Amino acid sequence: MSNAKEKKYAKRMRNQPSNVSLSSDIGTEQGHRPRHNERQENFQQHRDSHPGPSGQHQRHPYQSHGTHFHGRGGKGRGAPSEVPLVPKYITATMFAQARAAEINAMVKAVSQKSSNTLVFQSLPRHMRRRAMGHDIKRLPRRLREVAKKEMEKSAHLKKEVSKNKCRKARRRHGNLQLEFNRRQRKNIWLETHIWHAKRFHMVKKWGYCLGHRPTMKSYRACYRAMSSNCLLQDLSYYCCLQLMGEEAALLNALSRLTSTETGPSFAAALCLSGKRQGSLVLYRADKYPKEALGSVTFLWKPACVPDSPSEKRQLWIWCHPTLKQDILRELRQVCQCEEAPDIAVCKPEPVIAPQPAKPQTTPKTTAKKRKRKDQEGEQAVPVKRIIGDGTRDSLDPYYWTSKHTAIRISDLTMEFVRYRLTGPLSHSVLTEALRSAPLHKETESDAGPHTWWADYCSNPENVRLHTLQESMFQLLQAVGSPAEFPPGTILGLTVGDPRLNLPKQKTKAVPSVEKYEDRDQVKSIKLNGFPLECAQSFIWASDICSKVTENKVSEQEINRMRSELLVPGSRLDLGNSESKIPVLLIQHPGKRTGTDRPGWGSGWDICLPKGWGMAFWIPFIYRGVRVGGLQQALQHSQYMGIPDAPGDFPDCPAGVQSAKETEDSLLEAYKRRPPAKRANFIKHGVLAPFRCPWEQLTAEWDQRAGTVTKVPAAEKEEETTMDTNQEGEVPQGTVTEAQEDVRMEPGSQGTMGNELDMEKAGGAGVCVLRNKRILKELCTLCSLCNQRGPRSKQIPSPAPHGPSDMLLQVLHTFPRSLVWVRLTMLTKGTPELHAMICIPSEQDLVQLATDKSFAGPQEPKHGDPIKKKVLKHQKETKKKKAKAKMEKEAPQQKEEMSRDDDSDQLTLGLWPNPLPPVISHCCRTLLGFVTHGDFSMAAGCGESLGFVSLTGLIDMLSGHPVNRTGFVLVRNPSSLQYRFAKIMVAA
């Protein structure tokens, strides 16, 4: 071995514990060097000593002829290394003690780690598991003690415990409810919110958190459910306003808000008796046909003594949440109710999480609450609060009372749960999921918590009525579709707890027509509906509804009793303790306009007391229904051809606000895209791609038709005087063709004030035509395109130099009116939101008659007159920002400059306000706009709904040939292609 290797080996072995080793004298005496392995065994770390027989160190003489090693310093730095001799004997005790000390040192070295690696991290990679890091028992046994010490040490080194409780604590009964109440401070939850939140895309609209559409692909499946099965929707967010007073006083006040020209009013005989549900459009007091408030549905409580004029009648008005404030304000005005403080305004106030209750000497309880005991049986824990009562601090609703008319207006929002079942099997789902409440059993000693039901069953007349309602409810199974009933039919009923009637697995409800096929009662209810006395229900009594909610048996209690049944899976019988829930079944009619798909979309609405939402929801799910959200509600109204609140009411404040929100969202999304990846609407000839300028459209059509100068002289003088006093200018007269051409020229300087001039000419605001007589006439005119033969004699021919007499009369009564229309595409093409409805030219109609495959004309590309201005403005803005950065202006000055730039900034591809004339901006005259458009799976082609100008519609119908009066052109904002469509007016 060389000198370098010896030094290296000596350095490596110098710190090893002392040991007894064999001597290498035998090898040295024979005259040869020991092998490398022998040298390793014989080398001693301590050069000067080794344990002797007595345990003391003894010094031995050097060997002159043996092998020796040099020390640390090498051959030239010190004497040769000392090699101890082999002892002649070993003391067992001392030898064992030395070895024990060495073993202890080894164990200590193994147990003490020199790195920060945990035991779990020191395992081989193939042995590492996620669970080993948390469960010591999953580690090898030899490492468990060390891991246990590590965990104990880390537990002491942890920071203070986090304030957030563990999941189990957060999921507890009381804490969970407090968290739910806190999350409802801005947006109220429905009783089915948690069920929807797990399966739907949720949106926050109208002060509620609602399900928009299912997370799974179910758009076509929901349509199939509406057409052949059943679709379930939660409409509990609809607001209910209750009016109570004398019948004459109520009708006198409500007559100021409606008109008989639009259809049946509150005084309709069938609706007033309480047998049918009615629907109408409310207006501001004495403002018809302008200033609409929105559409509502109403229910009269069935009168027990119809001949008594002084009897207190009860009326429910159901409306959309966006319409509630305006309608409530107008109702209080016509009913002469006193002004209430701001805290009594019916806008729901969220429930604040209650603080821990302090002990009081005289506690005051307004309502009796069920309580349960904890495991120890000492403390009482309050039950879960009803989520449906999230808008009230107490059980009493807000109300306003009139001293003059004795009418009381109450706000019953969120006091009821309302579900809508749509489809031909909706009544089958009801008959299978619900069963009539059992009569009170007098044989049982315990009357149960439902004393009101025991008192009701004690009267034989009430028992007869309950039996009649039960038999009528069972007759629903013999009807093929809800559309066979009269529209708005009402059936009152008291049902048992539906949770006791759950099937073991999901089933599909089907009607049993053969069971009642030969009965005359089935034919009677199809023609006349249910008898009047069957419409009575306890749901009209607020005290009984409160008792039903308070005495509801919890889900936990029902599950416990099911587990104690002798025969598992059998039906649970609670006897008199079973809940009795009053409900109200309301038939909602299907499609009633047009000849295609009559009765499509019909179904039933069910109203029940609050707190019972999920108890009825789950049994309906188990009967094979499909659940829809807001998207399905819009799809349903679109296929039925009815307006959807509030977007399809441009003449009411809620509709204007909805259009503004839609415009802001679309404009924001448009600006987020780069200019090269978005449509240039200026070049497409689209003035308003994100909104519908109804006022400008109707005002331009009025001026174009010359209706301003056709007003009678007396009214013309009044309008002239009023406008002169208010505005200081005289209204404009008839415009010549030359002036009109100049005014209608795009980009001219005179077009900027065109809208303001039109506002002075004929009064601001628009209204939607809802007169049934005029709508029927317009529907007849539009349907002539499908008929062969001469024009009907009742339709007047157009005048040679102006509008007809009928046009003048209608437009004088309904100035600046819009007409609700439905469009069906002739060929391919799917209309989109805010698509333009235009009048075809004579050449287009001739080409369509000769070529059936003619797709339609195309709009030539327009120039972009503001592009240079926008680019110049952007360049100037960049220069200002660069200059401000160089000069290092103050932050406040930079914010003011950026705010000014944003307010004056133009958007590339959009027309700035005010808009040029809209009806003559393109090569085809504009008639109206589309508010809903999509491919219709019911019709198999594109369909759309929208509004057109009444003046323009009559002008088009009176000027076109007989066989082409019902055709229009539709063009999407992002396209230049016009496509033909049939126009139909809903009468």
pLDDT of residue 710: 44
Least trusted range by pLDDT, from 248-262, 602-616, 804-818: 804-818
If asked whether residues 397 and 264 sit together in one domain, one would say yes
Coil/strand/helix, residue 636:
helix
Q: Are 960 and 969 in contact (CB under 8 A)?
A: no
Question: In the structure, what pLDDT confidence band is assigned to residue 295 with cuts at 50, 70 and 90?
Answer: very high
Containing structural domain, residue 888: 867-904
Q: For the beta carbon of residue 664, count every other beta carbon within 10 angstroms.
A: 12
Is residue 725 in some structural domain? Answer: no
Give the sheet arrangement for strand 626-627, strand by strand: 490-496, 580-588, 603-609, 416-422, 231-234, 626-627
Least trusted range by pLDDT, from 10-19, 319-328, 947-956: 10-19
Question: In the structure, what pLDDT confidence band is assigned to residue 198 with cuts at 50, 70 and 90?
Answer: very high
Is residue 404 in some structural domain? Answer: yes
Q: Are 41 and 7 in contact (CB under 8 A)?
A: no
- DSSP letter for each residue of 760-808: HHH-S--EE---HHHHHHHHHHHGGGG--SSPPTTSPPPBTTB--HHHH
Q: What pairing do the DSSP bridges indicate for beta strands 208-214 and 188-189?
A: parallel
**Cis amide bond preceding 289, omega within 30:** yes
Structure tokens, 348: 């729901």
pLDDT of residue 451: 82
Mean pLDDT rounded to a whole number for the chain: 76
If asked whether residues 65 and 90 sit together in one domain, one would say yes
pLDDT of residue 876: 82
Chain centroid, CA 484 distance in Å:
32
Is a pLDDT exceeding 90 seen at residue 48?
no
Residue that finishes a domain, picked among 56, 88, 111: 111
Query: What is the tens place of the pLDDT at every residue in 165-176?
Result: 777 776 676 667
Q: Count the domains in the chain.
A: 6
More confident site: 127 or 725: 127
Q: What is the mean pLDDT of residues 293-315?
A: 79
Return d(Cα 390, Cα 185) in angstroms, integer: 9
Question: In the structure, what pLDDT confidence band is assigned to residue 57 with cuts at 50, 70 and 90?
Answer: very low
pLDDT of residue 102: 92
Is a pLDDT exceeding 90 seen at residue 626?
yes
If asked whether residues 537 and 582 sit together in one domain, one would say yes
Coil/strand/helix, residue 163:
coil
Q: Measure the N-to-C terminal CA separation of the chain; round to a whole number of Å.
A: 116
pLDDT of residue 836: 93
Q: What angle do CA 543, 547, 548 make, to 5 degrees?
A: 115
CA distances from 124 to 117, 140, 268 (A): 13, 12, 85
Listed as own residue / partner, the contacts of 88-92 with beta carbons closer than 8 Å and 24 or more positions apart are 88/53, 89/53, 90/20, 90/53, 91/53, 91/54, 91/55
Q: What is the mean pLDDT of residues 969-974?
A: 93
pLDDT of residue 101: 92
Question: In the structure, what pLDDT confidence band is assigned to residue 293 with cuts at 50, 70 and 90?
Answer: very high
If asked whether residues 379 and 484 sit together in one domain, one would say no
Of 489, 478, 609, 460, the residue nearest 541 (C-alpha): 609
If asked whether residues 894 and 804 sit together in one domain, one would say no
Phi-psi sector, 932: left (phi>0), alpha (psi -120 to 50), beta: beta
Is residue 174 in some structural domain? Answer: no
Q: What is the mean pLDDT of residues 695-713?
A: 69
If asked whether residues 794 and 898 sit together in one domain, one would say no
Is a pLDDT exceeding 90 seen at residue 211?
yes
Is residue 320 in some structural domain? Answer: yes
More confident site: 756 or 18: 18
| Sequence-ordered strand ranges (E) for 865-966 | 925-936, 941-949
Return d(Cα 889, Cα 486) in angstroms, integer: 74
Return d(Cα 956, Cα 985) in angstroms, integer: 14
Structure tokens, 149: 């010490």
More confident site: 959 or 432: 432
Residue that finishes a domain, picked among 53, 76, 111: 111
Q: What is the mean pLDDT of residues 326-353?
A: 63
The top-scoring range by mean pLDDT among 104-118, 248-262, 437-451 is 248-262
Q: Which residues of 919-933 are buried (b: 16+ CB within 10 A; e: fewer)?
A: bbbbebbbbbbbbbb
pLDDT of residue 711: 40
If asked whether residues 846 and 939 sit together in one domain, one would say yes
If asked whether residues 600 and 620 sit together in one domain, one would say yes
If asked whether residues 60 and 129 sit together in one domain, one would say no
If asked whether residues 96 and 50 sit together in one domain, one would say yes
Is a pLDDT exceeding 50 seen at residue 391?
no
Is residue 186 in some structural domain? Answer: no
Q: What is the mean pLDDT of residues 732-736?
A: 33
pLDDT of residue 316: 94
Question: In the structure, what pLDDT confidence band is assigned to residue 569 with cuts at 50, 70 and 90?
Answer: confident
Instruction: Please name the amino acid found at residue 7.
Output: K
pLDDT of residue 308: 55
Q: Are 650 and 656 in contact (CB under 8 A)?
A: yes
Is a pLDDT exceeding 80 seen at residue 869?
yes
Least trusted range by pLDDT, from 505-514, 680-689, 880-889, 917-926: 880-889
If asked whether residues 490 and 613 sit together in one domain, one would say yes
Is a pLDDT exceeding 80 seen at residue 129?
no
pLDDT of residue 394: 44
CATH number of residue 784's parent domain: 2.40.30.110
Give the sheet arrangement for strand 200-205, strand by strand: 188-189, 208-214, 200-205
Is residue 327 in some structural domain? Answer: yes
H helices then E strands: how many in the chain? 32, 24
Longest alpha-carbon distance in the chain: 150
Task: Point out which residues pair with 980 in neighbouring strands.
Answer: 969
pLDDT of residue 143: 85
Is residue 815 in some structural domain? Answer: yes
Of 285, 398, 402, the residue nearest 337 (C-alpha): 402
Is residue 740 in some structural domain? Answer: no
Q: What is the mean pLDDT of residues 44-62?
A: 42
Of 837, 797, 848, the residue nearest 945 (C-alpha): 837
Is a pLDDT exceeding 50 seen at residue 351?
no
More confident site: 728 or 239: 239
pTM: 0.71
pLDDT of residue 505: 85
Query: What is the tens place of the pLDDT at every residue in 816-838?
Result: 889 999 999 988 889 999 999 99
More confident site: 684 or 447: 684
The top-scoring range by mean pLDDT among 459-463, 752-756, 897-901 is 459-463
If asked whether residues 143 and 245 sit together in one domain, one would say no
Q: What angle do CA 809, 814, 818 make, to 5 degrees?
A: 125
Taking each helix axis from N to C terminus, what angle separates 426-433 and 460-474, rounded to the nearest 10 degrees?
A: 130
Is a pLDDT exceeding 50 seen at residue 591?
yes
Is a pLDDT exceeding 70 seen at residue 709?
no
pLDDT of residue 3: 83
Q: What is the length of the chain?
A: 987
